Amino acid sequence: MLIVNIIKLAKKLNLSTTTVSRALGGYSDVSEQTRSRVIDFADRYNYRPNPHASNLASNKNKAVGFVIPLYGLNNNTLNQISYFKFVAGMSKQINDENILFNMLFAKSAKEEKESYEKLVEINKVQNIIIHNVRIKDPRVEYLNQKKINFVAWGRSKKINYSWVDLDNELSSEMIVDYLISKDHKKIAFINVEEKYNFAFLRKKGFKKALRKNSIPYDSSIYRTTSLEDPSFTKNITMELLEKNPDLDSIICSTENASVGAIEACVELGINIGKDISLITYDGPVVESLTNPKITAVAHPLEELGKKAIEILMNQHKNTDNISYLAVPHIIERGSVRSLIKSN
Protein backbone atom coordinates (compact mmCIF):
# COMPACT_ATOMS: atom_id res chain seq x y z
CA MET A 1 0.00 0.00 0.00
CA LEU A 2 1.38 3.44 -1.01
CA ILE A 3 0.48 6.54 0.99
CA VAL A 4 1.28 9.71 -0.95
CA ASN A 5 -0.59 12.11 1.32
CA ILE A 6 0.85 13.26 4.65
CA ILE A 7 -2.71 13.80 5.95
CA LYS A 8 -3.48 10.09 5.52
CA LEU A 9 -0.19 9.17 7.19
CA ALA A 10 -1.01 11.45 10.14
CA LYS A 11 -4.46 9.82 10.48
CA LYS A 12 -2.90 6.36 10.55
CA LEU A 13 -0.58 7.52 13.33
CA ASN A 14 -3.30 9.50 15.15
CA LEU A 15 -0.97 12.54 15.10
CA SER A 16 -1.27 16.04 13.68
CA THR A 17 0.14 16.68 10.20
CA THR A 18 2.48 19.27 11.76
CA THR A 19 3.98 16.69 14.12
CA VAL A 20 4.43 14.19 11.32
CA SER A 21 6.01 16.80 9.06
CA ARG A 22 8.42 17.97 11.77
CA ALA A 23 9.31 14.37 12.69
CA LEU A 24 10.19 13.60 9.09
CA GLY A 25 12.06 16.91 8.81
CA GLY A 26 14.31 16.10 11.78
CA TYR A 27 13.14 18.95 14.03
CA SER A 28 14.50 18.79 17.60
CA ASP A 29 11.13 19.57 19.24
CA VAL A 30 9.83 16.08 18.31
CA SER A 31 10.71 13.27 20.71
CA GLU A 32 12.87 10.37 19.50
CA GLN A 33 10.06 7.94 20.29
CA THR A 34 7.58 9.84 18.10
CA ARG A 35 10.15 10.35 15.34
CA SER A 36 10.98 6.60 15.22
CA ARG A 37 7.28 5.70 15.11
CA VAL A 38 6.63 8.16 12.25
CA ILE A 39 9.62 6.94 10.23
CA ASP A 40 8.63 3.28 10.76
CA PHE A 41 5.08 3.98 9.52
CA ALA A 42 6.39 5.99 6.56
CA ASP A 43 8.64 3.07 5.54
CA ARG A 44 5.89 0.50 6.10
CA TYR A 45 3.42 2.35 3.88
CA ASN A 46 6.03 3.50 1.33
CA TYR A 47 5.28 7.14 2.05
CA ARG A 48 7.11 9.52 -0.27
CA PRO A 49 6.93 13.30 0.25
CA ASN A 50 5.27 15.33 -2.48
CA PRO A 51 8.22 16.97 -4.31
CA HIS A 52 6.19 20.13 -4.99
CA ALA A 53 5.34 20.44 -1.31
CA SER A 54 8.98 19.87 -0.40
CA ASN A 55 10.09 22.58 -2.77
CA LEU A 56 7.50 24.94 -1.33
CA ALA A 57 8.66 24.20 2.21
CA SER A 58 12.25 24.75 1.16
CA ASN A 59 11.36 28.10 -0.36
CA LYS A 60 9.49 29.11 2.80
CA ASN A 61 12.58 28.31 4.83
CA LYS A 62 14.45 30.74 2.58
CA ALA A 63 11.71 33.39 2.51
CA VAL A 64 12.26 36.83 4.07
CA GLY A 65 9.58 38.98 5.71
CA PHE A 66 9.52 42.76 6.12
CA VAL A 67 6.80 45.06 7.45
CA ILE A 68 6.60 48.75 6.48
CA PRO A 69 4.60 50.88 8.93
CA LEU A 70 2.48 53.66 7.40
CA TYR A 71 1.40 55.34 10.63
CA GLY A 72 2.86 57.62 13.31
CA LEU A 73 6.35 58.87 12.55
CA ASN A 74 6.34 56.86 9.29
CA ASN A 75 3.20 58.50 7.96
CA ASN A 76 5.13 60.87 5.73
CA THR A 77 6.81 60.66 2.35
CA LEU A 78 10.35 61.34 3.58
CA ASN A 79 10.47 58.38 5.97
CA GLN A 80 8.69 56.09 3.51
CA ILE A 81 11.29 56.86 0.83
CA SER A 82 13.98 55.71 3.29
CA TYR A 83 12.18 52.37 3.68
CA PHE A 84 11.96 51.86 -0.07
CA LYS A 85 15.64 52.70 -0.58
CA PHE A 86 16.46 50.07 2.07
CA VAL A 87 14.14 47.60 0.30
CA ALA A 88 15.90 48.35 -3.01
CA GLY A 89 19.15 47.17 -1.42
CA MET A 90 17.45 44.08 -0.02
CA SER A 91 15.97 43.30 -3.44
CA LYS A 92 19.36 43.13 -5.13
CA GLN A 93 20.49 40.43 -2.72
CA ILE A 94 17.10 38.69 -2.74
CA ASN A 95 17.14 38.41 -6.53
CA ASP A 96 20.74 37.17 -6.57
CA GLU A 97 19.94 34.40 -4.06
CA ASN A 98 16.47 33.54 -5.42
CA ILE A 99 14.76 34.29 -2.10
CA LEU A 100 11.00 34.67 -1.67
CA PHE A 101 10.15 38.15 -0.32
CA ASN A 102 7.06 38.84 1.80
CA MET A 103 6.51 42.59 2.29
CA LEU A 104 3.47 43.78 4.25
CA PHE A 105 2.18 47.29 5.06
CA ALA A 106 0.65 48.31 8.39
CA LYS A 107 -1.58 51.34 9.02
CA SER A 108 -1.63 51.03 12.82
CA ALA A 109 0.34 49.52 15.70
CA LYS A 110 -2.28 46.75 15.96
CA GLU A 111 -1.97 46.02 12.25
CA GLU A 112 1.83 45.96 12.50
CA LYS A 113 1.69 43.39 15.31
CA GLU A 114 -0.76 41.28 13.28
CA SER A 115 1.51 41.54 10.22
CA TYR A 116 4.41 39.91 12.06
CA GLU A 117 2.06 37.19 13.33
CA LYS A 118 0.80 36.63 9.79
CA LEU A 119 4.35 36.31 8.45
CA VAL A 120 5.31 33.77 11.10
CA GLU A 121 2.13 31.79 11.74
CA ILE A 122 0.32 31.84 8.39
CA ASN A 123 3.01 32.47 5.76
CA LYS A 124 5.51 30.37 7.77
CA VAL A 125 8.33 32.84 7.09
CA GLN A 126 11.40 31.96 9.15
CA ASN A 127 13.61 34.98 8.34
CA ILE A 128 12.54 38.52 9.20
CA ILE A 129 14.09 42.00 9.18
CA ILE A 130 12.79 44.46 11.79
CA HIS A 131 13.52 48.16 12.24
CA ASN A 132 13.39 51.01 14.80
CA VAL A 133 14.06 48.55 17.62
CA ARG A 134 13.35 49.73 21.17
CA ILE A 135 14.48 48.43 24.56
CA LYS A 136 12.19 45.52 25.53
CA ASP A 137 10.78 45.51 22.02
CA PRO A 138 7.82 43.08 21.86
CA ARG A 139 8.81 42.08 18.32
CA VAL A 140 12.20 40.85 19.57
CA GLU A 141 10.53 38.89 22.37
CA TYR A 142 7.96 37.40 19.96
CA LEU A 143 10.52 36.38 17.31
CA ASN A 144 12.83 34.85 19.93
CA GLN A 145 9.89 32.94 21.42
CA LYS A 146 8.97 31.59 17.96
CA LYS A 147 12.65 30.81 17.20
CA ILE A 148 12.58 33.02 14.11
CA ASN A 149 15.83 34.11 12.50
CA PHE A 150 15.92 37.94 12.40
CA VAL A 151 18.16 40.95 11.85
CA ALA A 152 17.45 44.53 12.95
CA TRP A 153 17.91 47.66 10.88
CA GLY A 154 19.08 50.01 13.64
CA ARG A 155 19.68 49.04 17.26
CA SER A 156 18.50 49.83 20.76
CA LYS A 157 20.78 50.63 23.70
CA LYS A 158 20.58 47.02 24.88
CA ILE A 159 21.52 44.66 22.08
CA ASN A 160 21.11 40.88 21.99
CA TYR A 161 20.55 40.38 18.28
CA SER A 162 22.23 40.89 14.91
CA TRP A 163 21.88 44.33 13.34
CA VAL A 164 22.94 46.75 10.59
CA ASP A 165 23.14 50.51 11.11
CA LEU A 166 24.74 53.77 10.11
CA ASP A 167 27.56 54.90 12.39
CA ASN A 168 25.49 57.72 13.89
CA GLU A 169 28.11 58.81 16.41
CA LEU A 170 30.75 59.15 13.71
CA SER A 171 28.26 61.01 11.49
CA SER A 172 27.93 63.80 14.05
CA GLU A 173 31.68 63.97 14.57
CA MET A 174 32.18 64.31 10.81
CA ILE A 175 29.58 67.09 10.56
CA VAL A 176 31.11 69.13 13.40
CA ASP A 177 34.64 68.65 12.03
CA TYR A 178 33.42 69.72 8.59
CA LEU A 179 31.78 72.90 9.94
CA ILE A 180 34.82 73.77 12.04
CA SER A 181 37.01 73.35 8.94
CA LYS A 182 34.91 76.20 7.50
CA ASP A 183 35.67 78.24 10.66
CA HIS A 184 32.22 77.76 12.24
CA LYS A 185 32.25 78.02 16.02
CA LYS A 186 28.68 78.66 17.16
CA ILE A 187 26.87 75.54 16.00
CA ALA A 188 23.25 74.79 16.89
CA PHE A 189 22.00 71.20 16.87
CA ILE A 190 18.31 70.35 16.43
CA ASN A 191 17.99 66.70 17.39
CA VAL A 192 14.99 64.45 18.13
CA GLU A 193 14.24 62.83 21.47
CA GLU A 194 16.99 60.59 22.81
CA LYS A 195 14.56 57.74 23.42
CA TYR A 196 15.54 56.97 19.82
CA ASN A 197 18.99 55.42 20.00
CA PHE A 198 20.20 57.05 16.79
CA ALA A 199 19.44 60.46 18.35
CA PHE A 200 21.34 59.53 21.52
CA LEU A 201 24.36 58.49 19.43
CA ARG A 202 24.19 61.61 17.27
CA LYS A 203 24.24 63.85 20.35
CA LYS A 204 27.13 61.82 21.78
CA GLY A 205 29.15 62.33 18.59
CA PHE A 206 28.26 66.04 18.51
CA LYS A 207 29.53 66.66 22.06
CA LYS A 208 32.62 64.51 21.47
CA ALA A 209 33.59 66.55 18.40
CA LEU A 210 33.08 69.84 20.23
CA ARG A 211 35.38 68.68 23.06
CA LYS A 212 37.99 67.50 20.55
CA ASN A 213 37.98 70.98 18.98
CA SER A 214 37.98 72.82 22.35
CA ILE A 215 34.53 74.33 21.78
CA PRO A 216 32.31 74.38 24.89
CA TYR A 217 28.94 72.63 24.64
CA ASP A 218 26.14 75.23 24.86
CA SER A 219 22.88 73.60 25.94
CA SER A 220 20.90 76.71 24.93
CA ILE A 221 21.53 75.99 21.25
CA TYR A 222 20.94 72.25 21.53
CA ARG A 223 17.22 71.60 21.04
CA THR A 224 14.98 68.58 20.56
CA THR A 225 12.07 68.46 18.16
CA SER A 226 9.33 66.15 16.91
CA LEU A 227 10.38 63.29 14.68
CA GLU A 228 7.06 63.56 12.87
CA ASP A 229 6.07 67.21 12.47
CA PRO A 230 8.36 69.75 10.70
CA SER A 231 6.33 72.66 12.14
CA PHE A 232 7.93 72.02 15.55
CA THR A 233 11.38 72.48 14.01
CA LYS A 234 10.25 75.61 12.19
CA ASN A 235 9.28 77.25 15.49
CA ILE A 236 12.49 76.08 17.22
CA THR A 237 14.63 77.40 14.35
CA MET A 238 12.92 80.79 14.39
CA GLU A 239 13.50 81.08 18.13
CA LEU A 240 17.17 80.04 17.80
CA LEU A 241 17.82 82.57 15.03
CA GLU A 242 16.03 85.42 16.80
CA LYS A 243 17.81 84.81 20.12
CA ASN A 244 21.23 84.03 18.59
CA PRO A 245 21.94 86.47 15.74
CA ASP A 246 25.60 85.38 15.81
CA LEU A 247 24.74 81.73 15.08
CA ASP A 248 27.06 80.28 12.41
CA SER A 249 25.28 77.09 11.50
CA ILE A 250 22.44 74.67 12.27
CA ILE A 251 22.64 70.88 12.22
CA CYS A 252 19.31 69.07 11.73
CA SER A 253 19.30 65.47 12.95
CA THR A 254 16.70 64.30 10.43
CA GLU A 255 15.62 65.28 6.97
CA ASN A 256 12.14 65.98 8.34
CA ALA A 257 13.63 68.49 10.79
CA SER A 258 15.53 70.24 8.00
CA VAL A 259 12.21 70.91 6.24
CA GLY A 260 11.09 72.98 9.24
CA ALA A 261 14.46 74.76 9.47
CA ILE A 262 14.30 75.72 5.79
CA GLU A 263 10.75 77.06 6.23
CA ALA A 264 11.90 79.21 9.17
CA CYS A 265 14.80 80.69 7.21
CA VAL A 266 12.54 81.50 4.27
CA GLU A 267 10.00 83.20 6.55
CA LEU A 268 12.70 85.27 8.27
CA GLY A 269 14.35 86.21 4.99
CA ILE A 270 17.58 84.43 5.94
CA ASN A 271 19.58 83.15 3.00
CA ILE A 272 20.82 79.57 3.54
CA GLY A 273 24.41 79.22 2.42
CA LYS A 274 25.07 82.97 2.71
CA ASP A 275 23.58 84.19 6.01
CA ILE A 276 23.51 80.82 7.80
CA SER A 277 24.84 77.32 7.14
CA LEU A 278 22.50 74.33 7.27
CA ILE A 279 23.47 70.66 7.21
CA THR A 280 21.36 67.55 7.72
CA TYR A 281 21.40 63.75 7.73
CA ASP A 282 19.98 61.72 4.85
CA GLY A 283 18.85 64.36 2.39
CA PRO A 284 17.80 62.58 -0.86
CA VAL A 285 14.47 64.45 -1.05
CA VAL A 286 15.15 67.81 0.59
CA GLU A 287 18.33 68.38 -1.40
CA SER A 288 16.38 68.08 -4.64
CA LEU A 289 13.66 70.55 -3.57
CA THR A 290 15.77 73.44 -2.30
CA ASN A 291 18.07 76.10 -3.65
CA PRO A 292 20.81 75.91 -2.61
CA LYS A 293 20.84 72.15 -2.28
CA ILE A 294 21.39 70.99 1.30
CA THR A 295 24.73 69.50 2.35
CA ALA A 296 24.10 66.20 4.13
CA VAL A 297 25.57 63.07 5.64
CA ALA A 298 24.46 60.38 3.23
CA HIS A 299 22.82 57.23 4.55
CA PRO A 300 23.89 54.25 2.41
CA LEU A 301 20.44 52.69 2.78
CA GLU A 302 20.78 50.33 -0.17
CA GLU A 303 24.08 49.07 1.23
CA LEU A 304 22.41 48.46 4.61
CA GLY A 305 19.51 46.59 2.98
CA LYS A 306 21.88 44.36 1.02
CA LYS A 307 24.00 43.67 4.11
CA ALA A 308 20.92 42.89 6.22
CA ILE A 309 19.95 40.09 3.82
CA GLU A 310 23.52 38.74 3.72
CA ILE A 311 23.64 38.52 7.52
CA LEU A 312 20.10 37.17 7.79
CA MET A 313 20.69 34.28 5.39
CA ASN A 314 24.15 33.36 6.75
CA GLN A 315 23.97 33.92 10.49
CA HIS A 316 22.86 30.32 11.14
CA LYS A 317 26.51 29.46 10.45
CA ASN A 318 27.61 31.61 13.41
CA THR A 319 27.00 31.24 17.13
CA ASP A 320 27.54 34.94 17.82
CA ASN A 321 25.36 37.90 16.82
CA ILE A 322 26.64 39.81 13.80
CA SER A 323 26.76 43.59 13.48
CA TYR A 324 27.52 45.91 10.59
CA LEU A 325 28.19 49.66 10.79
CA ALA A 326 28.04 51.54 7.50
CA VAL A 327 30.62 54.31 7.20
CA PRO A 328 28.96 57.70 6.57
CA HIS A 329 30.19 60.35 4.18
CA ILE A 330 29.31 63.99 3.62
CA ILE A 331 27.79 65.08 0.32
CA GLU A 332 28.90 68.69 -0.07
CA ARG A 333 26.37 70.95 -1.78
CA GLY A 334 25.67 74.66 -1.44
CA SER A 335 24.16 75.15 2.02
CA VAL A 336 27.38 75.54 4.06
CA ARG A 337 29.33 78.79 3.77
CA SER A 338 33.00 79.26 4.50
CA LEU A 339 33.82 81.79 7.25
CA ILE A 340 37.55 81.62 6.63
CA LYS A 341 38.79 85.13 6.01
CA SER A 342 41.15 85.52 3.10
CA ASN A 343 44.40 87.39 3.74
Question: Could you report the per-residue pLDDT of 40-99, keeping only the tens digit for each?
Answer: 887 777 765 554 444 444 555 679 999 998 876 556 666 677 888 899 999 988 888 888
Nearest alpha carbon to residue 224 among 192, 194, 201, 256: 192
Judgement on whether residues 157 and 202 belong to the same structural domain of the protein: no
Range of the domain at 20: 6-47
What is the spatial distance between Cα 259 and Cα 267, in angstroms, rounded to a whole number? Answer: 12
pLDDT at 202 over 80: yes
Nearest alpha carbon to residue 137 among 112, 164, 118: 112
Q: Which residues pair with 329 in a beta bridge?
A: 298
pLDDT at 278 over 80: yes
Q: Which of 7-16, 218-227, 281-290 has the highest mean pLDDT?
A: 218-227
Answer yes or no: is 342 within a domain. no
Cα–Cα distance list, 36 to 4, 14, 32, 46, 96 (Å): 19, 15, 6, 15, 39
Q: What does pLDDT average to over the chain?
A: 85
Cα–Cα distance list, 220 to 153, 243, 265, 270, 279 (Å): 32, 10, 19, 21, 19
Judgement on whether residues 76 and 155 belong to the same structural domain of the protein: yes
Answer yes or no: is 126 within a domain. yes
Judgement on whether residues 227 and 296 belong to the same structural domain of the protein: yes
pLDDT for 282: 72
Count of structural domains, the chain: 3
pLDDT for 52: 43
- Give 134-191 pLDDT, tens digit per residue: 777 889 999 999 989 999 998 877 778 899 999 999 999 999 999 999 999 999 999 9
What is the spatial distance between Cα 8 and Cα 181, in angstroms, rounded to a whole number? Answer: 75
- Taking residue 318's Cβ as centre, other Cβ atoms within 10 Å add up to 10
| CATH code for the domain in which residue 32 is found | 1.10.260
Whole-prediction pTM value? Answer: 0.77
Answer yes or no: is 339 within a domain. no
Answer yes or no: is 338 within a domain. no
Cα–Cα distance list, 78 to 128, 184, 190, 204, 258 (Å): 24, 29, 18, 25, 11
Answer yes or no: is 211 within a domain. yes
Judgement on whether residues 310 and 290 belong to the same structural domain of the protein: no
Answer yes or no: is 139 within a domain. yes
pLDDT at 121 over 80: yes
Evaluate whether 161 touches 148 at the Cβ level (below 8 Å): no
| CATH code for the domain in which residue 247 is found | 3.40.50.2300
Range in 69-73, 120-124, 305-309 with the lowest mean pLDDT: 69-73
Evaluate whether 294 touches 246 at the Cβ level (below 8 Å): no
Judgement on whether residues 285 and 204 belong to the same structural domain of the protein: yes
pLDDT for 189: 98
Judgement on whether residues 210 and 257 belong to the same structural domain of the protein: yes
* 3 state DSSP class of 315: helix
Judgement on whether residues 173 and 221 belong to the same structural domain of the protein: yes
Burial of 298 (0-12, 13-18, 19+ CB in 10 A): middle
Q: State percent of the chain over pLDDT 70.
A: 87
Judgement on whether residues 269 and 323 belong to the same structural domain of the protein: no
- Which tops the pLDDT comparison, 230 or 59? 230
Judgement on whether residues 185 and 293 belong to the same structural domain of the protein: yes
Judgement on whether residues 294 and 175 belong to the same structural domain of the protein: yes
Evaluate whether 166 touches 299 at the Cβ level (below 8 Å): yes
Judgement on whether residues 159 and 202 belong to the same structural domain of the protein: no
pLDDT for 285: 59
What is the spatial distance between Cα 164 and Cα 304, in angstroms, rounded to a whole number? Answer: 6
Nearest alpha carbon to residue 302 among 93, 84, 89: 89
Answer yes or no: is 52 within a domain. no
Judgement on whether residues 42 and 73 belong to the same structural domain of the protein: no
- Rg over alpha carbons for the chain, rounded to the nearest Å, is 26
pLDDT at 11 over 90: no
Answer yes or no: is 219 within a domain. yes
pLDDT for 158: 75
Helices (H) and strands (E) in the chain, counts: 13, 12
pLDDT for 75: 60
Average pLDDT, integer, range 317-328: 84
